[in-house]
Structure 1
């Protein structure tokens, strides 16, 4: 099986898993992955993550010309911003997951580090997640905002929209996205309660051991 066929199948399988578990709905969300030759696979615009035909996943050249498949997601600039600024990026996942979106709308959410340090796992997989302002869906300025971070963040949360995560490969990106959503869910569930999070010493140790 060729690399492109294998990766198309993996993207479709992970997309269905994400959809089936309610992490994105309707025709929202998109996934991309970079192949060894520098070309990029990207889920098509307007497609449902639960019903993606692998053969129709967009295949783009390194300079973003469509080689095969359907027209790519309109969030193309968001994905390519991570590839261009983080050389180790092998895949990018963008969802409209409910708890993350809810957290983006809370007035006391820290824009420099949106996930409270309640458990180690979001920190281990994501580091600090930056809150970016609201942009119209498909606005290339989302990509510009990510580029402005100069590759220093592996994940961002778009206000009133949803999270975006870049990882070394597809599996790592999906798992990190799941940790982001679980961290946001826990933050919203315990909101307003007296909670005991990680202490500063443990937080420092985690960030030293697992740099984002």
Structure 2
């Protein structure tokens, strides 16, 4: 990463707050980039909470259309959390659904504009580490927005390449991922950087998979 301008985003501006241990691990990863010759600068939040909420609400409406088409037998096997999440999408008017759909383009626009000055952007993959396997997502209220996707959704919407790579382990054994994002068409450079980080991240970032049940 010698000579690269790297943005460090530790606050997505929406969704769940970043856990302190996760933040510390991502800051340590950013220091590896700086030590290797990159210029690391803070990147402020660029996606307002209303944009993420609008996107998720469009997904609710789209999923409700699929859920509504299911037979009674098919609906019976849908996880209740998912059913309630989908049904909430029925409350939006046609006009509101169109506005919510527009949040895809708005999120993409905001993401490209904010990240354009940088060669790479570093952030947590998720603001929180792994949640219990029995839970559908870290937020257990299906009527709340999907606050765990606030760092990854922007690049999914903008079409920019991003990789997720292990950066450390919390004291309780849960792993923390580093997201490295880049500009459209820079996939090859991004993969080279990811390969470099995999070797430079340090032994304390490695996972003993023998301990994972």
Report 1 or 2 for greater relative contact order, CA contacts < 8 Å, sequence distance ≥ 6: 2
Greater fraction of residues in helix: 2
State TM-score, norm by structure 1. 0.25
State TM-score, norm by structure 2. 0.25
